[in-house]
A = this chain, B = another copy of it.
């Protein structure tokens, strides 16, 4: 799984609204209506993540869900991260 170069990452992020690069990770915070909706969203993400065998860090703060993606085995950002981010955006 090849590491993405900075220009590839910048190109990918153009089509991923509000996803931001921090070092070797990309992050986004989603704001839901309330905790119940946040948990529904988290469970949808969990199913996608398990299917892809690629698991974001998930931080839940009542109605806010922050996701952090990185391919730890590769030491940075790869296709796996952007594919999963796109699937999550499509939920």
What is the interface of chain A, defined by CB distance below 8 A to chain B? 35-36, 39, 42-43, 46, 49-50, 55, 57-62
Contacts and interface: CB of A to CB of B under 8 A. Distances in A.
Contact of A36 (B42, B50, B58, B62): B50
A91 to B, nearest CB: 16
Contact of A59 (B35, B36, B43, B58): B58
Given A42-B42, A43-B43, A35 B57 contact: no
20 contacts: A35-B46, A35-B49, A35-B50, A35-B55, A36-B50, A39-B43, A39-B46, A42-B42, A42-B60, A43-B43, A55-B62, A57-B59, A57-B60, A57-B61, A58-B58, A58-B59, A58-B60, A59-B59, A59-B60, A60-B60
A56 B36 CA distance: 13
